[in-house]
Amino acid sequence: AQTVTQSQPEMSVQEAETVTLSCTYDTSESDYYLFWYKQPPSRQMILVIRQEAYKQQNATENRFSVNFQKAAKSFSLKISDSQLGDAAMYFCASNNAGNMLTFGGGTRLMVKP
């Protein structure tokens, strides 16, 4: 079984600043995938970034990047140059095969103008 833990229920960041959201996971699988999803107040969940566990290089998508520490089972999300539109719930998730995602409890990110 996989577990995903997000220890920060709420975070805030000043517009244009950088913020890091934490995530730890536990899995017995050797091959797995990690994701960060964003759920804005409109409720439509969208994928922010994904990481294949076999890849050592950290994934990057524009202002979003991850710090993947496989040995520590840590998968944090860094948002650079934060924008008001980044305000949302962020969920860390994992799966090993198929489409059965295991989600963390979420972090509510507030962006202050």
Partner 1 sequence: KAGVTQTPRYLIKTRGQQVTLSCSPISGHRSVSWYQQTPGQGLQFLFEYFSETQRNKGNFPGRFSGRQFSNSRSEMNVSTLELGDSALYLCASSLGLAGAVEQFFGPGTRLTVL
Contact 93, 100 (CB under 8 A): no
Which of 36, 82, 106, 109 touches partner 1 (CB under 8 A)? 106
Contact 106, 90 (CB under 8 A): yes
The least distance separating partner 1 from the CB of residue 113, rounded to whole angstroms, comes to: 27
Token pair 């650079």: residue: 80
Is residue 28 a contact residue for partner 1 (CB under 8 A)?
no
Nearer to partner 1, 58 or 96 (CB): 96
Contact 47, 109 (CB under 8 A): no
Is residue 45 a contact residue for partner 1 (CB under 8 A)?
yes
Sign of CA dihedral 59, 63, 64, 70: positive
The least distance separating partner 1 from the CB of residue 99, rounded to whole angstroms, comes to: 5
- Report the distance separating Cα 104 and Cα 4, nearest Å: 5
Is residue 41 a contact residue for partner 1 (CB under 8 A)?
no
Which of 8, 24, 50, 110 touches partner 1 (CB under 8 A)? 50
Dihedral of CA atoms 62, 18, 26, 68 in degrees, nearest 10, equals 50
Nearer to partner 1, 53 or 82 (CB): 53
Residues at the contact surface with partner 1, assessed by CB under 8 A: 31-33, 37, 42-47, 50, 52, 91, 95-106
